[in-house]
A and B are shown apart, each in its own frame.
Chain A
Amino acid sequence: GQQVMQIPQYQHVQEGEDFTTYCNSSTTLSNIQWYKQRPGGHPVFLIQLVKSGEVKKQKRLTFQFGEAKKNSSLHITATQTTDVGTYFCAGPSQAGTALIFGKGTTLSVSS
């Protein structure tokens, strides 16, 4: 079945350092979404990428969709303690009616 893989599983950084998480799909995706889950919280939508090679920025966050639409990345510049949480990428299911999530990358930030 469809799989969405994400690395690394965990990442610890010092505040101010950069952070990147990578997402790979076994199949070509029509779109990819990114969610953030704070500890003890629920997933919250960050962004959706649709076009091949698309790059979108939200303040210190940069999202990229690969040319082949099978991989994506999220890069955070100059992390802050508020960035702590687990970042999930998610692609459409086979029937396209739901999201298949990657395992997530849990980011911890020490000040």
Chain B
Amino acid sequence: EPEVTQTPSHQVTQMGQEVILRCVPISNHLYFYWYRQILGQKVEFLVSFYNNEISEKSEIFDDQFSVERPDGSNFTLKIRSTKLEDSAMYFCASSEEGVSGDEQFFGPGTRLTVL
């Protein structure tokens, strides 16, 4: 069964450093998303991406964040200068159709720890 994959599974970084989180969405999916979940809290929307551009972003997704689809398979989230409060689990998701028509498939997540 096709699945969303994410690397690395765990990333530890120093405050102020840049991190890139990688995702490989399901191959025939057209819509991509990043969410984050601080330990024990709800899943928070960061950004949605379609047709090589951002469709929507939340208030959390400020200038420190960027997304990119560098090739036909990868979808990345970059945090330019990490802060302590960026520590969270980051989930990538993809769907065949948009939100109103389709389920989202989540990857296993990358746990980001900022020291």
Contact = CB atoms under 8 A, between A and B. Distances in A.
A99 B99 CA distance: 7
Interface in B87-106: 91, 98-100, 103-106
Give the bracket for the number of chain B residues in contact with chain A: 20 to 34
Given A43-B43, A88-B43, A103-B42, A97 B99 contact: yes
Contacts of B35: 99, 101
B45 interface: yes
Contact of B45 (A41, A44, A100, A103): A100
A98 B99 contact: yes
B25 interface: no
Given A42-B108, A95-B55, A101 B44 contact: yes
A90 B48 CA distance: 15
